[in-house]
Structure 1
Amino acid sequence: MVFIHDTRQSLRAAAHLVNTMPGRDGEDTLSTAADFEEYLRVNPYTGAIRRDETELAALRAIRPRLRRLWEVDRDAAVPLVNEMLRDGHALPRLVIHDGFDWHIHATSDDAPLATRVLVEAAMAFVDVIRADEYDRVRICSADDCDDVYVDYSKNGSKRYCDTGNCGNRMNVNAYRRRKARESA
């Protein structure tokens, strides 16, 4: 599965944003100006960024819409993606900047950040849907995690997210269960 740089970047940013929502631990990790700055550091966006409370609130408000893309199958994702593109008044155009080759922006640089994030995520999901790779859009399989990710592994066998050391934790739990059964 090969996606162009901007698609991978948008998918990664969307997953990161979704994973800031209160999960099983109940903690919202996008509630302060510092959280917002960290999100922007890890996921840089071009265009106007105000970095104020209104913009932070708007960004937080789109998280459930993005999360929904991980909760549905490919066919059910299509109307969600189309709605995001429509709501963002998407008008794709080719751009080149910051050392990146030609890629697509679908909103103006002065559109609100939340609109740009939503539309860029929708455009990335267009690529996933068209490539028939939607089965790689996943929710972590760990019993105690509901974070989202996109599986970029060659064989599509990734089961755990990278945010909470879930794979190692589940492997240790399985090992301990096996040892306990052997001892009994």
Structure 2
Amino acid sequence: MIFAHDTEDSLVAAVELVNSAEEPDTLTEIDQLAAFFDKHGYTGAHARDAAELAAVRALRAPLRRMLTSDRDTATELVNQTLARHRAVPQLVRHDDVDYHIHAVPPEAPFPVRIAVETAMALIDLIRADELSRLSICADSTCEGLVLDLSRNRSRRYCSTACGNRNAVAAYRARKK
């Protein structure tokens, strides 16, 4: 299934944010948060301070729950998030990005935009009954999330490192 670019972008960002909590934690400094903001093309308010960093870090567990829940629970969490932040979806076009959905104003705090954009993206997965595109890494030593946007749904690992570690272990097991 092909999703809108803003859906995919929001899901990729949310999965990266959730996975940043895995060891080693990759979101401990304000500069890392700024790099995350830039990498994922966020727009609007960005305080670049310790309070914002703490608020974004605090989002990781609730987003993980939202992204790993069954369909009914995910729907409930999405609806709660949208209601809490009074999300009002609107089509916008800015910079070199064609029409896409923003559901909070540009002055909304960065953590609010992350939560709402993730919830909006999850709406597409729930409606298409495609939550199976989100899973936990197949590496038994890892709890990272996997977003599988491949056509054949073959992605099993959250990172190349986990995939390589398991390939090496399988190779060594066959050689014994």
Where on the TM-score scale, by shorter chain, does this alignment land: which range? over 0.9
Corresponding residue for 1:28? 25
Q: Normalising by structure 2, what TM-score?
A: 0.95
- Determine what percentage of the aligned residue pairs are the same residue: 48
Partner Cα distance (1:16, 1:89) in 2: 25
- The question of 1:101 aligning with 2:112 is answered no
In the TM superposition, what are the counterparts of 1:18-57 in structure 2 within 5 Å? 18-21=18-21, 23=22, 25=23, 27-57=24-54
- Residue 147 of structure 1, aligned match among 141, 144, 147: 144
Partner Cα distance (1:5, 1:133) in 2: 16
Corresponding residue for 2:12? 12
- The question of 1:165 aligning with 2:161 is answered yes
Partner Cα distance (1:16, 1:33) in 2: 16
Of 171-180 and 38-47, more deviation after overlay is shown by: 38-47
Corresponding residue for 2:128? 131
- Residue 76 of structure 1, aligned match among 73, 78, 94: 73
Corresponding residue for 2:175? 179
Of 41-50 and 124-133, more deviation after overlay is shown by: 41-50
SS of 2:48's partner is coil
**Equivalent residue letter for 2:122:** F
Of 47-56 and 119-128, more deviation after overlay is shown by: 47-56
Partner Cα distance (2:165, 2:67) in 1: 23
- The question of 1:61 aligning with 2:70 is answered no
Q: Is the 8 A contact 1:138 1:150 kept in 2?
A: yes
Q: Is the 8 A contact 1:70 1:139 kept in 2?
A: no
- Which of the two has higher C-alpha Rg? 1
Give the root-mean-square deviation of aligned CA atoms: 1.2
Q: Give the count of matched residue pairs.
A: 176
Gapped regions of structure 1 (runs ≥ 5): none
Partner Cα distance (2:72, 2:174) in 1: 40
Q: Deviations over 1:1-46 (max 9, x none)?
A: 101111111001101110111x3x3x32211122212212322211
